[in-house]
A = this chain, B = another copy of it.
Amino acid sequence: MAQVSLGELAVRFGLALRGDPARRVGSVATLDAAAADQVAFLADPRLADRLTGCRAGAVVLHPSSVESCPVDCLIADNPHAAFARIAAVLHPLPAAPAGVHPTAVVAADAVVHPSAHVGPQSVIGARARIGSRVVIGPGCVVGEDAVLDDDVRLVARVTVLERVEIGARSVLHPGSVVGSEGFGYAPEGRAWIHVPQVGTVRIGADVEIGANTTIDRGALGDTVIGEGVKIDNLVQIGHNCSIGAHSALAGCVGLAGSSHVGARCRLGGGVGLAGHLTLCDDVTVTGYTLVTGDIREPGVYSGGVPAEPAADWRRVVGRLKRIDSLARRVSALERGAVPDEPA
C-alpha cells in the first residue's frame, strides 16, 4: 500500500491543510476506525460532533468543520469528492501488466494496443480494437468489431458483444453483458418470429456498469448510454433505450425497450420503466416505483408502498380492492342516500 504525506495530498488535490504536512498516511478508514496512518472523512458539517475522539491521521472535511476536529484536517468544499480522490491514490488498482496472457485467444486481425492488458482465458474477436492502457480481466469475451477506448477496464468475466463501442475510462464489472440481442419478436399465429437485432450499443466515457447487468443492442438503431452514467448491479436495459449523461441507476432497475432517460436522472433500486417513454432531465424516481408514461417535469417521483405488519397490510389490501365501492358509497352519502351495499 502506498504511503503519502499530507502535504503531497494537499498539493495534489488543491486542499488546505491544517496540520503536519510531513505526516504519512497509507490507507482510508471510517471516522470511528481510522488510526494514525489513515485518512477519514466527514461529508456533512452538521455531523461535526462525530469528530470527537477521532484518532485518524487526517480527516477530509468542510471548512466549517475544522474547529471541531481534534486531528489534522484536509479542507475541501466537497469533502466526499476529495476523499474519493485520496482513496484512489492510497488504494490503487491491482497492477495489470501490459501484454496478452498466453492463454488468451486474440483474433489475428484484432488491434490490441501494446499498453493494454489482456488477461487469462479472455477471447478477443476479429477486428476488435483495444485502446491504450485498457485492462481486460480474466475470462472476458470481446466480440467482433467491438471498440474499447483508452483506459477501459473489464474487471472479469465481462461479455462485450459484436460492434459495441465503449468510451474511455469506462468500467464494466464482472458478469455484465453489453450488446446482447434485444427481446424482439413478431407474433405469427401462435408463435413468435425472432426479429434480428441489427443495432448495437454505444457507451460514452466514464461510464460504470455493474456486476451481472445486461444492456441489449438496438433492434434498428442503437442503445445509447451517455457519458458519466453510473449503473449498479443486476440492471436490465432493453433495446433502443437511451440514458443521458451523468444519470445514475441503482441495483435491479429495469428499462423496457425504448425507454429514454434524460441527463442527471436518478433511478432508485428496483425502479421499472415500461418502455416507449421519456423522462426529462433531472428526474429522480424513488425505489421500487413503476413508471408507465412520460415524465416532463424535473422532480421526484414515487410509487412504492412501505412494508406494514402483515395482518395490518392484509386489511389494507382488502379495503383497497373495494375502494371503488367505498368511493361510490361516499358519493351516495353526499347525495343523501345510504347505498344498498353494506360496508
Partner-B contacts on A (CB < 8 A): 27-30, 33, 43, 78, 80-81, 83-85, 87-88, 91, 94, 101, 103, 105, 119-121, 123, 137-139, 141, 143-144, 155-157, 159, 161-162, 171, 173-175, 177, 180-181, 183, 185-188, 190-196, 198, 206, 208, 210-212, 214, 216, 220-221, 228, 230, 232-234, 236, 238, 245-246, 248, 250-252, 254, 256, 263-264, 268-270, 272, 274-275, 285-293, 295, 299-317, 319-324, 326-331, 333-334, 338-339, 342-343
List the B residue with the shortest CB-CB distance to A245. Answer: B190
* CB atoms of B314 and A343 under 8 A apart: no
Using Cβ atoms and an 8 Å threshold, which residues of chain B touch A314? 302
Cβ contact of A194, chosen from B84, B194, B290, cutoff 8 A = B84
Smallest CB separation, A245 vs chain B (Å): 8
Using Cβ atoms and an 8 Å threshold, which residues of chain B touch A83? 186, 195
Q: List 19 A-B contacts (CB under 8 A).
A: A78-B188, A81-B186, A88-B196, A91-B196, A139-B159, A143-B156, A171-B181, A183-B210, A190-B264, A191-B246, A192-B228, A212-B212, A236-B251, A236-B269, A274-B287, A303-B307, A315-B324, A331-B342, A333-B333
* CB atoms of B327 and A334 under 8 A apart: no
Using Cβ atoms and an 8 Å threshold, which residues of chain B touch A331? 342-343
* CB atoms of A193 and B85 under 8 A apart: yes
* CB atoms of A141 and B138 under 8 A apart: yes
Smallest CB separation, A109 vs chain B (Å): 14
* CB atoms of B334 and A334 under 8 A apart: no
Smallest CB separation, A173 vs chain B (Å): 5
Smallest CB separation, A189 vs chain B (Å): 9
